Amino acid sequence: MSQKLWGGRFREETDSLVNDLNASIGFDRRLYSQDIEGSIAHCGMLAKQGIIAREEASKIIEALGEIRRALDRGELPFEGYEDIHSLVESALIEKVGASGEKLHTGRSRNDQVALDVRLFVRDAASSVIRLIKNAQRTIVALAEDNQGLMMPGYTHMQRAQPVLLAHHLMAYYEMLKRDGERFTECRCRTNVLPLGSAALAGSTFDLDRQMVAEELGFDSVSANSMDAVSDRDFVLDFLFASSVLMMHLSRISEELVIWSTREFGFVNIPDSYCTGSSIMPQKKNPDLPELLRGKTGRVYGDLMALLTTMKGLPLSYNKDMQEDKEGLFDAVDTVEISLEVIARLLGEVTFNGDRMRNASKTGFLVATDLADYLVRKGVTFREAHEIVGKMVLFAIDEGRELHDLKMDEMRGFSRQIEDDVYGWLDPEASLKKRNIKGGTGPDSVMLEIAAAKGELED
């Protein structure tokens, strides 16, 4: 067991169970690169300010680089250390001797870990943004390849109106676009340097915090030392953005599951993304989208856990905040693999066009168009709604669709109905009438796809 960084105050050895509960090396080892990056910047600043000698700083920085490369290669054991900070410091002192003990001048593990986590979240947000863009590109390509394919649009899981499959798919592009904006905003709020806050009150040393911020690519330095060491809002921002993103992935996954059933038969998921049953030989189960649905709850849990941890903490740093990392790491891993999986999956699915087109022709999907037709003939919309509702009831009783009704039958409900009504009862014609911006009309959807491609190029 390494010597505690804080052991001078204590007469007794820490209980072994306390060591087990207190140690974070089992998970914060993941921050070694960020910890060393921050230490190098801090060391350079200490030398520039004359707090340590430049010769010592050069040796420390060189040794820190060697330690990072050794950790990259898996050559340094993590066991026996309280946290990643103590491991790096111990390895540094072993390399450069007493000079390594000077590196911690002007900082605390409180602002050190706040820095490490901010660097991690900043990198993670950038990674997620890139993966979101990849998923968006897949969606746009899928929409473009299926521009002319009509399907039923649903509300309350009941057939509602005909829409283009491309329009339906592009709805998820818009969701992911908002997700990207949330992660971008998260990255901006994360990009504030906490180092220099020390334990909570700042430092008596003349630290050049702006120099460290510029060295590490931060936009600004924290304005309040107590807030800086106790703030985990940026982690919560990341977890919230991750939860909303996973909710969106879960929605599209749910539709893939439903659409792949024999009852719908809209989509074909390749065998390579499905599994079978141990007892039923005929089964082909859409396990991949089902897992994405399930992992959404996992990320929600990560968010709720940290919200609950932070809700009653007085200023400033409290040990409870050590619980911020495992949920964060879990959410990052889950979100990244989920985005990779959904992009690959959507790039491989195919659609049953005939099945979707035929489904669009039953279920009275043009009823609203018929009401709009009557409004154009001078009927108020409320009256038109009532007339069409009665026509639908009549058609249900007759076992027919609206377009199957004869002219004299329709005129029995409204004398305003004329021969031109049949042009309003064709689902394909219905689509073409909805070229309003944001609508499902073919021209509108083409513009929507073109705009998205332009955004992705930017």
CATH fold for domain 110-357: Fumarase C; Chain A, domain 2 (1.20.200)
pLDDT value for 27: 87
pLDDT value for 15: 66
Stretch among 4-13, 26-35, 82-91, 148-157 having the lowest mean pLDDT: 4-13
Are 155 and 74 contacting, i.e. CB atoms less than 8 angstroms apart? no
Are 150 and 65 contacting, i.e. CB atoms less than 8 angstroms apart? no
Query: Which H or E run contains 126?
Result: helix 109-145
Whether residue 16 is predicted with pLDDT greater than 80 in this model: the reply is no
Catalytic residue among 16, 156, 272, 278: 156
pLDDT value for 12: 74
Beta bridge pairs of residue 317: none
pLDDT value for 1: 40
d(CA 50, CA 54): 8
For domain 14-105, is the CATH number 1.10.357.10? no
CA 87 to chain centroid, in Å, comes to 32
Section 351-361 average pLDDT: 97
Q: What one-character-per-residue DSSP string does 66-112 give?
A: HHHHHHHTT-S--TT-SSHHHHHHHHHHHHHGGGGGGTTTT--HHHH
> Both ends of the chain: CA-CA distance in Å?
52
Is 385 a residue of the active site? Answer: no
pLDDT digits (tens, 9 = 90+) for 235-277: 999 999 999 999 999 999 999 999 999 999 999 999 999 999 9
Is 127 a residue of the active site? Answer: no
Q: Is the pTM of this model over 0.75?
A: yes
Whether residue 18 is predicted with pLDDT greater than 80 in this model: the reply is no
Q: Which two three-digit tokens encode residue 210?
A: 């702006």
% of residues, the chain, pLDDT over 70: 96
pLDDT digits (tens, 9 = 90+) for 298-353: 999 999 999 999 999 999 999 999 999 999 999 999 999 999 999 999 999 999 99
Per CATH, the number for 367-425 is 1.10.40.30
d(CA 129, CA 174): 14
Domain ranges of the chain: 14-105, 110-357, 367-425
pLDDT digits (tens, 9 = 90+) for 75-85: 999 988 999 99
Whether residue 7 is predicted with pLDDT greater than 70 in this model: the reply is no
Are 109 and 316 contacting, i.e. CB atoms less than 8 angstroms apart? no
Catalytic residue among 58, 126, 220, 277: 277
Read off the amino acid at residue 50: G
The pLDDT-based confidence of 395 (bands split at 50, 70, 90) is very high
